[in-house]
Structure 1
Amino acid sequence: MDKRLDYPTIGIFAAAVIVDLACRFLPANLPYVFPFIFNAPVFLGTWFVMLWYFRGMARTPLAERPGRVRQWFFLGGLALIYFVLQTRFEYLTQHMFFLNRLQAVSIGMVAPFGIAIGWMSEVLARGIPPWLLAVCKGNVVRKVGHVLFHPLPAMALFLVTSDIWLIPSVHFAAMIDPTLYAIMNLSCLFGGLVFWLVVLDPRPAPVSRFSFLARAAA
């Protein structure tokens, strides 16, 4: 077993602690690129996916690497998620409705679309820690994925996670409750990712379980 310290991973966790403390005690003094309210799942998720992407690319033979366009779509989607959820832009979305809707479209449609177009599953599999890869290939995750990544549940999840927050009373409650607001954003992001990863899966059947026609019909 390789017992060497993983300095990039340690650095991401250290950065998360520093940013969290800065947001708690110095929110008004932080530059625009810092979040107003620290969101650990988004911060850690985007930075770790970025780390695993670059590690995976370094371990992928040159002939097997995705094209430039796919890479830019993937990185652009990842950057958009971070921008609308972990910079001062998010503060503005809580005070301007049209920016709030722009944020919702970004995390539910545009960013997941870019990530799905990029389709970096093979690259990320080479970059993530072995223990996490084993978890992803475990029976529990595979069974959950088998259900969620069916066209019909994926479409239903996408509609529910986006439309339920448009109910005026629900949306108002989310806008005045930071925890519920974070849940709203994460659920929209999750629903969008599942939906677009199913629809834009570039692999033909039977590898992807469903043909392009079946996914389009759903």
Structure 2
Amino acid sequence: MIGLNWLAPYDFSPATILGYVLVLGFYGYGLLKMPEDNRPGSGRILVFVVGVMLCYGVMQTRFDYYSQYMFFIHRGQHLILHHLGPLLIALSNPLPVMQFLYSRIKPGIRRALSPLGWIYRFLQHPAVASFLFVGLIYFWLWPPIHFNAMLSRDLYWIMNWSMLLDGLLFWWLILDPRSPVSGNALGYGKRILLLALVAVPQIILGATIVFSQGMVYDVYEVCGRAWPMAPETDQLLGGLITWIPPAMMSILGILIILRRAMREDGKAFPYSEKLKATHS
């Protein structure tokens, strides 16, 4: 019974449940229907499901209750929604499944969905994507906005969904499995630069919260905390979660990109082949 209480939604949202069911349902349908040669391996499928379920867990289990009444748990919630969950989903490379599902859509429906493609390409512009990635964190942590978001059920859901969707867009841009040599994907160097650039303002924001004098987010005093923790400790832990793990995620992303670039065997950096030929 204790386990069921932890897994049961604190604030039941039919739209959220439906969204996650549709994502897993369409993904499973694509896996079953697509040719076996194009089907991702079990490891990639597992990473995708884990990423989706982590996001679901922080939105529709008892975890969500503590996120609303403890600042540091809230920051952990957004760490998963904006960083870890989307990174795992993008790392699993669901592109073959997405392409297969798209090929099953009727041409008329594709034409009707074409405006979404324009919006997607705009949001995936490197400058726009990086600005939104950092800007949304600052926006929702601006004390007056954060106060209202934690007291308004509708605004709270908008906040969480915006963090999740923005995280998916950004990490897909960074971990796009297509090679920049043979496709239109963003170059590896630009991806590394973006990861470094978005880390800096997150570090500054986290450090500002950690070293701030007095309470920055007093909404948790108004609503009461789930645990008898000192407000200063709660804010300190929340600031550290805002500061350190996102920076580590950027470093992890850079290492993944460097590994991919090295596996290109010189294709990502074409001058290396010329240097080899010169020395030979």
Q: TM-score, normalised by structure 1?
A: 0.78
1:94 shift after superposition: 0.7
Aligned residue among 19, 37, 54 for 2:28? 54
In 2, the alpha carbon distance for the partners of 1:213 and 1:134 equals 36
Residues 7-26 of structure 1 mapped to structure 2, 5 A cutoff: none
Change (3 A) 1:47 1:93: same
Percent identity for Structure 1 against Structure 2:
33
1:135 shift after superposition: 4.2
Tell me whether 1:173 sits opposite 2:148 in the alignment: yes
Aligned residue among 32, 39, 49 for 1:65? 39
Q: How many aligned positions are there? A: 189
Residues 85-96 of structure 1 mapped to structure 2, 5 A cutoff: 85-96=59-70
In 2, the alpha carbon distance for the partners of 1:114 and 1:215 equals 17
1:154 shift after superposition: 0.9
Q: Secondary structure at the match of 1:91?
A: helix
Given that 1:108 and 1:162 are in contact with CA atoms closer than 8 Å, whether structure 2 keeps it comes out as no
For the aligned residue pairs, the C-alpha RMSD in angstroms reads 2.3
Change (3 A) 1:170 1:53: same
In 1, the alpha carbon distance for the partners of 2:111 and 2:75 equals 33
In 2, the alpha carbon distance for the partners of 1:133 and 1:211 equals 33
Deviates more, 1:193-202 or 1:135-144: 135-144
Q: Secondary structure at the match of 2:69?
A: coil
Q: Secondary structure at the match of 1:32?
A: helix
Given that 2:149 and 2:156 are in contact with CA atoms closer than 8 Å, whether structure 1 keeps it comes out as yes
Aligned residue among 147, 156, 160 for 2:135? 160
1:37 shift after superposition: 1.7
Residues 124-163 of structure 1 mapped to structure 2, 5 A cutoff: 124-127=98-101, 130=105, 134-135=109-110, 138-163=113-138
Return structure 1 stretches of 4+ with deviation > 4 angstroms: none
Corresponding letter in the other structure for 1:160: G
Tell me whether 1:185 sits opposite 2:164 in the alignment: no
Given that 1:59 and 1:127 are in contact with CA atoms closer than 8 Å, whether structure 2 keeps it comes out as no
In 2, the alpha carbon distance for the partners of 1:97 and 1:76 equals 25
Aligned residue among 171, 180, 198 for 2:173? 198
Q: Deviations for 1:128-187, whole angstroms, at most 9, x for unmatched residues?
A: 772599448832011111111122211111111222111122111111111111111011
Tell me whether 1:212 sits opposite 2:196 in the alignment: no
Q: Which runs of 5+ in 2 are unaligned?
A: 195-280
Aligned residue among 92, 95, 98 for 2:72? 98
Q: Which residue does the alignment assign to 2:82?
A: 108
In 2, the alpha carbon distance for the partners of 1:132 and 1:158 equals 33
In 1, the alpha carbon distance for the partners of 2:49 and 2:107 equals 21
1:215 shift after superposition: 2.4
Q: Deviations for 1:25-84, whole angstroms, at most 9, x for unmatched residues?
A: xxxxx8332212223442222110100111111112222222233222211110011100
